[in-house]
Structure 1
């Protein structure tokens, strides 16, 4: 049996634990902010580059909208408020998540949520989908300074869990998350919720649903072993092909 001190699981929030109901939400938020502030709207390439980054980091390092720390924080706070307004409070748990979490709990495996969202937003979302009590750590943007691709967010998680990076698996839905996890010395499973699986091959493994993986699979991933596709069928590529 795999015991809790030999394995840890870190989940990102949107696209991993809960559905991304509106894939155009982030671009719309940036669009509204750019209109309000009379800034140039970021190109698709730039939007993809800042996906999953801390907002203040994206504003200062990528968009270069300001060099003033106070102004950067003002813009970041405003962007967060626009996001909350457009997003609303509705969240939908992704299929297979609850079964996966219950299996982890049965094997006493520590679980954490990590995301560049405020603690308040994460806690409200967790309550909305009924996942209170499942997570041994919740790492929000207040807990780290350097966003992706830096590994600090995940480094904070393992410190809180009391585990070594090498025994932890990050579940994310972008190549930026994979890069960040690898920099932090962790394995990464990419969840093909927003992007097709063929775009996520930098990860150690790719799934569509979390319950495609067993505890044995997780241990094999930690050990650096390749595993085959299992569980429910992944239909991300089919959706992309037949999307109108």
Structure 2
């Protein structure tokens, strides 16, 4: 994003983006091209500054802490995104062999993926357990970074084998919707074609949905070895 876009902002105004304890950014403007951390927090409506941490989101995905009296030059492209926390300490961890900092004791699987800059839908994130089984952390699950030592995480592309009408398919999602399953069996299936109707049943699913029917508009969580049965009915 270009921060000094004079066609969109008044002269001598600089566009910045703020997110609080996550990555849902909201656009703001500031007049000072070299504001302090305290000024930036004030623009975001976060006072007093001493009760908050402010990080600059770098292009690499790293969060670099900005002290209240430290300045940031907004005239340099790529320096306009900031993440804040109501906190008094940072927590360090490693993900994909890169050191990262976070402003809360707990972090979600989704935030770990966002920091690693991978597609959350097509990737998993694991806590690395030396000498044991690595721990899968789902998007909405949180992990406590407050234990002794520096935690290590790794992301990996999702590859799950499922069966559709007994034929194996490798999918890159943990959740499949109705039409994705249909097109595994019928690649040219068209939702707009009212003359064709599809019925899906499934078996050997995960604990939360071991078997059942999948209807148009629904999605289902999957696991390796899950079986789908797609039935086509031609109404023409």
> What's the TM-score bracket when you normalise by the shorter of the two chains?
under 0.3
Structure with larger Rg: 2
Higher relative contact order, chain-length normalized (CA < 8 Å, sep 6+): 1
TM-score by length of 2: 0.24
Greater share of residues in helix? 1
TM-score by length of 1: 0.24
